[in-house]
Chains A and B, each alone.
Chain A
């Protein structure tokens, strides 16, 4: 393997130096946008969380997209293609499903949110089901179960990325302690993200998402162009891909994971669940009008599959040709030159771009690596912001200090952002040294567990938006049962209760189910059944209130009489 740094001419700056300059410029830009966002903001809770409900098309589409595309989009998902070959390409079909959800669910959520001054998903769901405190808490808990792993995952990705960007950098001594590049990268990502979320709220988050979104899309396409060129053009590329080992050209792939039912349920349920997680829900409220969401749906369904199917997924397939994974007694492992499956895009561009373009290539490597960082930061900032809204609106304002002022709540929100960032950072840095957290090592695995929890809000969301026949008790029972089912699919029951006896049998069963279907779908099926059954036998919601809610949701005229703040 040729070391990319060796291909730069003598006297030219090293990859580390170029990467450092690009990275610092990017981080300064983000903080600058945060400051501008702060200067434009008003000191109200609604402005901090929803940017005055006035985000236009470009900001709406980019912030929804950047929130949706976490580090998994450019690390985890290509890692899966690298591992499982063409079978995982079918995952790209989750994007049109996500697009449809943006319009069909998002526009309805936006209309009610605007008319009723909702800020969080708890406001709407609990408000619909009779202003129930239990439902508000359940929705907040599901929000935590989604948001916290996602924040942790993005910070971890920042650590990995720093290690990839500066492989030759040694440890740095700070405050009498040695820190490696992983710790420094994770810390830098979390602190910069925290700062701009803290000072500018939703406005800063959304504006930085625009920058990050463009970087991300550019990085995905650039990486594909480089791969094609490095492999002799599209015809030669596909000739080499077609000569891959047969199991990587058919389903269920070398690891035997991707059966059609599993792929189909993942495409439908994981994408829709990602579109109703707390951060996205807030983005629907903050959209200026239906048109912004409608156009976002179009971009999701048309432009993003292109970036996947003709972009980053081809990079991973090229990686499979150049660095074939190896089958060992413990299963399939990444090629030693790649290290971990998730790193394939990073390795591909770092190895080939400088070889093709010299110093300019090194600059582009730095830009693409910053794009990966952007993917992580854009998801981390949205989730931090959403977490702050959930704690402030659904917990603090309802149960700790009801009637607190907007200013007070905005400050509590900021404290939550700081506390959550530091906690996540602590978990990441200590988890990195602990073997017990190894089941959660692969980024994509953690993503699917978090999404599966968010999926448990789907039945109530569908009921509110389309059916409107569920009851308060049904909604609560459904959500609790769905979350418990998803919990059984995670490694935690085994870690908490051991893997013998009944727990062992349950884990065996969930292990089998997991090979057949998406985890979120399994929870969803139980959730829906319980929701429907309990709703049949419990008292219905006030029909006048339900009708009024439906009118607010389906009204085709924008009601300006309600002042959102």
Chain B
């Protein structure tokens, strides 16, 4: 039981870090990695879509995935 609890905490910590990373990389300073300059803004596309749109969808998906995994592994419910 204790091992399970410890494992749950470890997964929780890993998920927290991943969620925070997604926040920093998505709307945070991580965006500078892909933010196009004015001169190349029209040419920086991924599959024909603006790179910032794709970047947003990707990191938002990471956050959503963290919540889904938390839902099934970390978040406990009260029992009657």
Contacts and interface: CB of A to CB of B under 8 A. Distances in A.
Contact of B80 (A93, A107, A249, A558): A558
Nearest to B59: A93
B41 A247 contact: yes
A388 to B, nearest CB: 29
Contacts of A309: 53, 56-57, 60
Contact of B50 (A111, A241, A261, A560): A241
Interface residues of B, number: 42
Contacts of A244: 42
A251 interface: yes
A295 B37 CA distance: 41
Nearest to A89: B56
A246 B39 contact: yes
B6 interface: no
Given A93-B59, A241-B50, A298-B71, A291 B38 contact: no
A147 B37 CA distance: 41
A95 B79 CA distance: 28
A230 interface: no
A324 to B, nearest CB: 15
A121 B46 CA distance: 46
A96 interface: yes
A305 B71 CA distance: 17
Contacts, number: 141
B75 A264 contact: no
Contacts of B49: 238, 241-242
Among A239, A242, A250, A261, max chain B CB count under 10 A is at A250
A136 interface: no
Contacts of A235: 48
B64 A96 contact: yes
A268 B78 contact: no
B72 to A, nearest CB: 10
A260 B28 contact: yes
Nearest to B16: A100
Given A239-B48, A251-B31, A90 B56 contact: yes
B59 to A, nearest CB: 7
Contact of A249 (B26, B42, B57, B79): B42
A267 B41 CA distance: 24
A302 B78 contact: no
A140 to B, nearest CB: 29
B56 A93 contact: yes
Contacts of B48: 235, 238-239, 242
A87 interface: yes
A244 B80 CA distance: 56
Interface residues of A, number: 49
A191 interface: no
A242 B45 CA distance: 7
A107 B71 CA distance: 13
B23 to A, nearest CB: 6
Contacts of B23: 93, 97, 264, 267-268
Interface string A545-562: 000000000011110100
Interface string B46-80: 00111011001101100110111011000111111
A249 B60 CA distance: 18
Given A103-B75, A238-B48, A242-B48, A301 B67 contact: yes
B36 A249 contact: yes
Contacts of A263: 27-28, 31
A290 interface: yes
B36 A301 contact: no
B24 interface: yes
A305 B56 CA distance: 10
A301 B63 contact: yes
B67 A297 contact: yes
Contacts of B24: 264
16 contacts: A86-B56, A93-B26, A97-B63, A99-B67, A242-B45, A243-B42, A246-B42, A247-B38, A249-B36, A249-B52, A250-B52, A260-B29, A264-B24, A289-B78, A290-B76, A297-B75
Interface of B: 19, 22-24, 26-32, 35-39, 41-42, 44-45, 48-50, 52-53, 56-57, 59-60, 63-64, 66-68, 70-71, 75-80
Given A260-B32, A264-B27, 10 more contacts: A111-B78, A242-B42, A246-B42, A249-B52, A260-B29, A268-B23, A297-B71, A301-B67, A302-B67, A556-B78
Kindly list the 6 A-B residue pairs having the minimum CB-CB distance in the complex, ordered from nearest: A246-B41, A96-B63, A301-B67, A264-B28, A263-B27, A249-B41
Interface of A: 86-87, 89-93, 95-97, 99-100, 103, 107, 111, 235, 238-239, 241-244, 246-247, 249-251, 260-261, 263-264, 266-268, 289-291, 294, 297-298, 301-302, 305, 309, 555-558, 560
